[in-house]
Structure formats: C-alpha cells, structure tokens
Structure 1
C-alpha cells in the first residue's frame, strides 16, 4: 500500500516534544513502533527551507522497520529557538554546534549509539557529526548532499561560484540580508515556500534560480506547488512565521566559522561508518558530479539514485524509501513489522 505520510496537524504515530540542549530549546518529532519496542534509534536532520516535517514520508518507514525515530527542527527553524546574531555568535548555526546538540539530544534520550540521516544542510551536518562523534554515530545516510572533507585552505562561496560551483551563487543572495526585505509576513512566506518547492507563475515563471537566488519580482505570481501544498503548506507557513526567514538564513552566513572549526578534523577526513548516499539525478544545485570522489574518503559506501529534483524525500518517496529499506536490511538493522 502507498506510504501514508505523517500528518502535520494531528497524527497519533508521532509526538511533538521539546527539550533544552546546550542552553537552547529544541522542538522534535518522536516516534516509536507500536508496543514501544525498538531496535535502534535514528535521528533525521533536515535542511533549508525545510522542517522536521520534511521527513514525513520516511518516518513511517523507519518506525515500520522497528526503529525509534527522532527528528529535530534545527537551530532557527519552527519550534526550535532562533537566537539573534549578533549579539549571539554565528557559530550557533554551524556544523560543530549542530553536532554537539545532536550528541546532547542522544544523551537526553539515554542512547549511546545513533543512526544519522540527513538532507540538504542536514546532510552536511550528519557528515560532520559522524566525524565529531564517531563513537556515537554508528551509520550515516545522506539524501542529495555529497560528502565534502575538511580542507586546510579556505574557499569562500565567492571562490566556489567563480570556480567549480556557479550554481552556488544563490547562497550569496541568501546570506546578503536582501531576502528578508521581501519575505517578511505570512503571505510572502507562503509565496516563498511555494516557489522554493517548485511552484511557477502563470507563464512558467520561477522565483528561485540557483545562479541568482530568490527572484522577488516573481514571488506574487507563483501558483501552487505539487510538493508542498494544502495543510502541509499551512503548517510550514505557521512554523516559519514564528521566527521569520532571517534566522534560517544564518546557516548560509557561517562558511568561515565552519571552516575554522573543521581544522580540528583534518586528520579525520575518512568516514569509517557504513554510509548510504542517495543521489537525486535532477538536483540543480547538488549535482551528481559533485559526489564522484566520495569513495576515496568513505570505504564502506553504498550508492543509490532517484530520478528526482532536490526534494527527493517528498517527490519520489517510494523510491527513496526502497533504497533506505534495502540498505538497512543489508546492514542487518531493523525489523519489518508490516508491508508498507
């Protein structure tokens, strides 16, 4: 039968929980198999502009496989705190801090080993968390986001755009402070989210271009998105309206601080845990060629791919879930309780 994604408004399969992690409040989704017995704990980490609910199609699969599933809203998003920068440090929105908070959440839940899954920025987080906390993280899977090892030389986003990754130019716009001037209330947040999830104007206009960023002039014309609509879109708009868009864009303002903290990982470039990487073949930003060298740093790497855009988790959930299920079974993890 078809996957029944988590309902954001009311779904008995999950609990909405909050906790303090290293001084800040986090909201997270919590799910366990019926009967409360589970074999392992899986943390799922979302990216931008997403929420914990971005994993709504994968949570039921993982619970069905016998896992406890924990899905936080990351710093600056939804029900999690969004500390202002300044006066707070931009490092609150960095990979090291995210890894520390994941470790704190694991401790809070009384678990000494976790499996990490990530998408978009969350993919970057799980790679680094596996390096910062190798004894905590037993397995890693990433959808769309390839592994990038720590570098001793700093490359700015401008350097990347001028060089191998012109499609990263949108990051310059997101970090500039310009987006908040347009995306600043419920209606503009709604149009923005529809645009980022593939909505178009009446003449096919787009309001997001990887080489430009958010095209503010097109936002008012954007129609419905097939990937984010109805009550799920309403939920996202409500959650993004709590803090506004600014705090989520801080993730694009800490490239240098991430690099500085990465210097402690230069001798840990090899990811030793078993890894699954799922490539979205039509991703216009995290393009397939970016993952070519991953095998040199990940000895135990399994690859999968789906014919999808960057939003593979919700665009092709059956295909993504099939690859995840097969990998878990191949690793001898989980147990199937029913057929999805």
Structure 2
C-alpha cells in the first residue's frame, strides 16, 4: 500500500511547531517515527513557491524508515516571519543566514548531526550548510532538481547568465523586479498564481509562467485547475501565502550579489566530501539536465538518480523519487540497525 501524503489540515504523523531562530520565529513540521525512537534526523528544505508541505509525500517515507523529520517554512514563507527589507537587511533572505537558522534549529532540537534534503534553488542550502558547518553538522545531503555550483571568485549577474548560457533563468529578473507583487496581490490572484506555477493552463493552453519571461499576468485569470496542487492542499497554500503576501518570498531573488559576497569566504571549500544524492527531473524547464554536468569533480561521493518529471518531481512522481531516496539511504547504512 503506498504511503499517504501528509494531510494539510490534521495529521497525527506531524506536529506544527514554532521556534525563535536568531531573533525570527520559524514554523516547521516535526515528525517522529512509530515508537518515537529515531535513527537520525532529516531536515527538508522547500523551494519557491512552495512550503514545508511540499515534502508531504516524502515525510511519510522517512518516518516509516525510522527517521525524525523537520521541515521548516523558510524566511518569508507560510508561518515563518517575513521581515520587510528594507528597513531590515536583505541578508535575512540570504543563504548564509538560512544556514545559520537551520543550524540553530538543529541545535535547539538536540541534533548533533543531520541529513539535509532540498528541492529547487533551495536545494543549494544543503550544500551551503555543508560548506559552512561540514562535517560538524551535516552528514549527508540529497537534492532534487538542484545541481551543485561551487563558490566562485567572479560575480556573474542574473542578467548576464540569462543573456548567455542560461536564458531560462530570465524569470528571476522578473521575480526580483517588484512587478510580480503588483500582479499577485489578493487571495484570488494568489490562488490563480499557485495553480499556474504548478502546471495548470488556461482553456487555450495558456501558461501562467515562462522561464524566459516570468509570471504572465495576462494569463492568470484564465488558469484552470492544477493536477499537482488542488483541493484542501491548495486551500492551505493560499491561506499560508495570504499571511504575508508574495513579496517576502521574492526577496530570495534579490540576494544574488549578497550570496556571492558571503560565499567569498568559502573559495577554499569548493569540494564537498559528504555523501550526496542528486535527483534530476528530466523535463525540468529551468534546472535542465545540462546544468548538472561536471558535478562529480566537486562531489566525490555523489550518487545520481533520475525521474521522468517536471520541476515538481516531489509531487508529480513521488513513488519514483521516494524509491531513489530510500535506496540511497539504505546504501549509506541507514537500515533498522543504524543510528546517528
């Protein structure tokens, strides 16, 4: 019998918790396996525009395997604080600050080591945390869709990347521009936006999102139902995004130069020796398979997996994703006898 995803309303397998991390309050999902004895702690980091519940198909697998699971809403998302920047510094939405906050949450939960999983661009956080704290905290890393990019000495703007090798990253320019929050500014527009980002189309095949352009405002009113985000789960997402609006989540796309500046301290730490798993979604229109070439040189303990899915592999092909994660964890020695 396949594992049932976490119910957004009420599910006995997880608790909705909060913690103050370096001055900001975070919401996170917390789950213990049957018997409440766990072999290791897994942190799950969601992407954009997602929430901790984006891991709703993977959390049951990990609990069933005997892991403790912690899945936070990142800064600006869902039940976590969304400080305005300005007047607050934009580095609240940077990778180093996020790494510090994840580390602090692990400390508060008494986890001396964690396994860290990430999806979308926020899969980068798993690798960043290993660079900032490895091997003290992160023992293993797995990432869905997100290839590894080592810290580099020269700054490359999003505009330059989009004009050059990666035109599919031009959407990030639109997300950072301040224009999207003018479009997505009500509960109804948030609903249409989320449906569109999760694959729904209009009656004539209209898309709500184009990687080379961004959010297509003119198409949002026509968007129909999504197969990947609907029903009570969609209602939950709309409610959570309505807490702060979408502006705070877009701050993550305004920190590229800041992240580069903070990464300059890591130029001598480009190689990650911790065991890593990378799962490629073969039909991802943004994080394309070509972007993952050459990763093995910087990740000597890399295992690769692949699913025939779009960017939303976690919910589109959960059984396939789960099977790869499970097999990898078992190969790392996390069977019924192991502990960490």
TM-score using structure 1 length: 0.98
Q: 1:333 Cα deviation (Å)?
A: 1.2
SS of the residue corresponding to residue 7 of structure 2 reads coil
Aligned to 1:112: 112
In structure 1, how many angstroms separate the alpha carbons of the residues matched to 2:316 and 2:336? Answer: 26
In structure 2, how many angstroms separate the alpha carbons of the residues matched to 1:7 and 1:191? Answer: 22
Mapped contact 1:40–1:114 kept (Cα < 8 A): yes
Aligned to 1:189: 190
1:126-167 per-position Cα deviation (integer Å, ceiling 9, x unaligned): 110111010100000000000000010000000100111000
Q: 1:50 Cα deviation (Å)?
A: 0.1
In structure 2, how many angstroms separate the alpha carbons of the residues matched to 1:77 and 1:309? Answer: 23
Aligned to 2:172: 171
Root-mean-square deviation over aligned CA pairs: 0.8
Aligned to 1:84: 84
Instruction: Report matched runs for 1:311-322 at 5 Å.
Output: 311-322=312-323
1:295-335 per-position Cα deviation (integer Å, ceiling 9, x unaligned): 01000000000000000000000000000000000000143
Mapped contact 1:64–1:335 kept (Cα < 8 A): no
Instruction: Tell me, yes or no, if structure 1 residue 160 matches structure 2 residue 164.
Output: no
Aligned to 2:133: 133
Instruction: Tell me, yes or no, if structure 1 residue 62 matches structure 2 residue 57.
Output: no
Mapped contact 1:283–1:310 kept (Cα < 8 A): yes
Instruction: Tell me, yes or no, if structure 1 residue 310 matches structure 2 residue 311.
Output: yes
Mapped contact 1:40–1:334 kept (Cα < 8 A): no
Can you give the 5+ residue segments of structure 1 that lack an aligned partner in the other structure? Answer: none
Instruction: Report matched runs for 1:112-261 at 5 Å.
Output: 112-134=112-134, 135-261=136-262
1:234-278 per-position Cα deviation (integer Å, ceiling 9, x unaligned): 000000000000000000000000000000000000011000000
In structure 1, how many angstroms separate the alpha carbons of the residues matched to 2:189 and 2:241? Answer: 11
Aligned to 1:280: 281
Mapped contact 1:67–1:334 kept (Cα < 8 A): no
Aligned to 2:71: 71
Superposed structure 1 runs of 4+ greater than 6 Å apart: none
> Which shifted more, 151-160 or 119-128?
119-128
SS of the residue corresponding to residue 117 of structure 2 reads strand
Q: 1:10 Cα deviation (Å)?
A: 0.6
In structure 1, how many angstroms separate the alpha carbons of the residues matched to 2:17 and 2:240? Answer: 15
1:10-50 per-position Cα deviation (integer Å, ceiling 9, x unaligned): 10000000010000000000000111100000000001000
Aligned to 2:50: 50
Matched residue pairs, number? 336
Can you give the 5+ residue segments of structure 2 that lack an aligned partner in the other structure? Answer: none
